[in-house]
Amino acid sequence: MQAIELILKDEAATIELGEDLALALKAGDCLALSGDLGAGKSTLARAFLRAMADDEALEVPSPTFTLVQSYDLRIPVSHFDLYRLADVSELDELGFDEALSDGICLVEWPENALAALPKTRLTASFSHLDDGRQLTISGDAAALARIERSLAI
Ligand code: ADP
Ligand code: MG
């Protein structure tokens, strides 16, 4: 299946997409969030987690220093930020495989552990526009089809 191309005109559009993705993803899905600093990766992850928790006020601390924050939700979600990952082998120690077998993994800075991430994954790549962001979601065809359906609702 073709990649999904979206224009996110403002922060609200990024949040809305995070909410749609929370309806589309299921246990075993890995969503890599790619893009420069300030691109919107954490905004998307926060909206995803709040929607999955059905709690608009859910605290979503940045996993920059802990590298992972886990949430026991309808589907368990682990939010990784690999910016400070020193070595790919550390991903094992963070419990990535267990997190993926139980639930959904959201991964910021996936570039730091590409070799260790599952081949069957989704990648959402942000780029800055003058106004807003361009987003390309590519990867696993079956998961992309689920996302297409949730975007159409
Ligand atoms: P990252 O985690 O990629 O470093 P953040 O999500 O922390 O980025 O920050 C993104 C910044 O851009 C926030 O200030 C947010 O309000 C803003 N933002 C998010 N989505 C959009 C968008 N589609 N258009 C414009 N600004 C956005
Ligand atoms: Mg971030």
CATH value of 27-132 in 3.40.50.300, 3.30.230.10, 3.10.520.10, 3.90.1150.10: 3.40.50.300
pLDDT of 128 above 80: yes
Are the C-beta atoms of residues 52 and 22 closer than 8 Å to each other? Answer: yes
**Ligand 1 center–CA 77 separation, angstroms:** 21
> What pLDDT is attached to residue 76?
98
Question: Number of helices (H) and strands (E), helices first, in the chain?
Answer: 5, 7
**Ligand 1 center–CA 39 separation, angstroms:** 5
Q: What is the pLDDT of residues 41-98, one digit of tens each?
A: 999 999 999 999 999 999 999 999 999 999 999 999 999 999 999 999 999 999 999 9
What mean pLDDT value characterizes the chain?
96
Ligand nearest the Cα of residue 129 is 1
Locate the domains of the chain by residue range: 27-132
pTM above 0.90, yes or no: yes
Give the closest residue (by CA) to ligand 1 atom 11. Answer: 38
Q: How far is the CA of 63 from the CAs of 44, 67, 83, in angstroms?
A: 14, 5, 9
Give CA–CA dist 4/71, Å, rounded: 27
ipTM reported for the complex, 2 dp: 0.99
**Ligand 1 center–CA 42 separation, angstroms:** 7
Task: For residue 126, give both structure tokens.
Answer: 């942000």
Residue with tokens 């089809």: 145
